[in-house]
Amino acid sequence: MSAVLRARGLGKRYRQRWALADCDLDVPAGKVVGLVGPNGAGKSTMLNLAAGMLAPTTGTIEVCGGRPGQNPAQLAKVGFVAQDTPTYAALSVADHLALGARLNPCWDDALARDRIHRIGLDPAQPAGRLSGGQRAQLALTLGIAKRPELLVLDEPVAALDPLARREFMEDLTVAAQAHAMGVVLSSHLVSDIERVCDHLIVLVASRVQVAGDIDALLASHHRLTGPRHEHGGLSAPALPDGSHIVSTTRTDDRTTLLVRTAGPVDGPVHAPAELAVASWSTGPVPLEDIVLAYMSASRPALADRASRPTLESLR
């Protein structure tokens, strides 16, 4: 599958602080991609690099086959809606469309005007008098009507109420399908990501922790629950080679593991005979729990636990 965004060793430093470090990433073309992570993880930096608003400190980034922002033709391939969905308060909705037509060589005026009419914006209304949801819809219209190959959205619904957020996401999904447009969307709301996205990237502490198609991630992560060792130690079930424990939670008598495996885990799994413990139960893991597990495992206090690549350390 071709990549609409490819990063190799990508890093961005602000003075002494690395906002992004050692990022290797392939974003598949034709997908709606969700980018999630805690505040300060580097999401906005990643998206600004993709849009050509920033230059990398180390490594390389390629978007739509070229270096972001290198020339007008490359700029025309990428649409960008920043976190504050910027509009010009003194300009009317119609003025924004006229400005978009002048600045973008592939501007689709019919699409823009039809969308403004459909969502009920008054062309004569100044942007400064629009609600937050209306400004977000105007910014999205400008991004879509540019007819980019890739639309980059940085927390575009952060300030919207639930209804406005749902309407925005539904419109985004329709536009992406109708115009064969790739989308990279950052959000703190995993429910929004799960509703509209095909692919997920989890960015924590300036590094990519996991990336993949959402269906594949859901299929490859499992929650295993079983007993602790009778002497207080931690027991572990037998799992396929290549399994990786993402997180571990313990109570006095139970152990819960979130595990990523290369293949399915069907039915109960059993600990080795020498541990003499009962069967472990298995179950699916919601997407939000997968995201939170990778976020938690990347905290400094849990770094040692997260670095364990096999089950041997649990036996």
Q: Structural domain of residue 252, as residue ranges?
A: 216-314
Looking at the fold, whether 164 and 257 belong to one and the same domain comes out as: no
In a domain, 211, yes or no: no
Looking at the fold, whether 24 and 125 belong to one and the same domain comes out as: yes
Looking at the fold, whether 176 and 226 belong to one and the same domain comes out as: no
Q: How many domains does the chain have?
A: 2
Looking at the fold, whether 15 and 150 belong to one and the same domain comes out as: yes
Question: What would the two tokens of residue 11 be?
Answer: 């890093």
In a domain, 279, yes or no: yes
Looking at the fold, whether 152 and 85 belong to one and the same domain comes out as: yes
Question: What would the two tokens of residue 69 be?
Answer: 């922002």
Looking at the fold, whether 177 and 230 belong to one and the same domain comes out as: no
In a domain, 109, yes or no: yes
In a domain, 209, yes or no: no
Looking at the fold, whether 141 and 254 belong to one and the same domain comes out as: no
Long-range contacts of 298-303 (CB under 8 A, 24+ apart): 298/204, 298/205, 298/207, 298/209, 299/205, 302/247
Whichever domain contains 72, its CATH number is 3.40.50.300
* Cα–Cα distance, 88 to 93 (Å, whole number): 9
Task: Please check whether residue 90 is in contact with residue 42, taking contact to mean a CB–CB distance below 8 angstroms.
Answer: no
In a domain, 251, yes or no: yes
* Cα–Cα distance, 77 to 65 (Å, whole number): 10
Angle made by CA atoms 143, 190, 160, in degrees to the nearest 5: 50
Cα distances from 306 to residues 67, 111, 240, 295, in angstroms, run 34, 48, 19, 10
In a domain, 225, yes or no: yes
Q: Where are the alpha helices (DSSP H) in 36-153?
A: 43-51, 72-75, 93-103, 109-118, 132-145
Final residue belonging to a domain, choices 166, 182, 204: 204
Final residue belonging to a domain, choices 183, 204, 225: 204
Final residue belonging to a domain, choices 155, 184, 204: 204
In a domain, 210, yes or no: no
Per-residue pLDDT of the chain (315 residues; tens, 9 = 90+): 588 999 999 999 998 889 999 999 998 888 999 999 988 888 999 999 999 999 999 999 999 999 998 899 999 999 999 887 789 999 999 999 999 999 999 999 999 999 999 889 999 999 999 988 889 889 989 999 999 999 999 988 777 788 878 888 888 888 888 888 899 999 888 888 988 999 999 999 888 999 999 999 999 999 988 876 544 444 556 676 778 889 888 887 788 889 998 766 654 454 444 333 446 788 899 999 999 999 987 654 333 333 333 333 333
In a domain, 54, yes or no: yes
Looking at the fold, whether 157 and 249 belong to one and the same domain comes out as: no
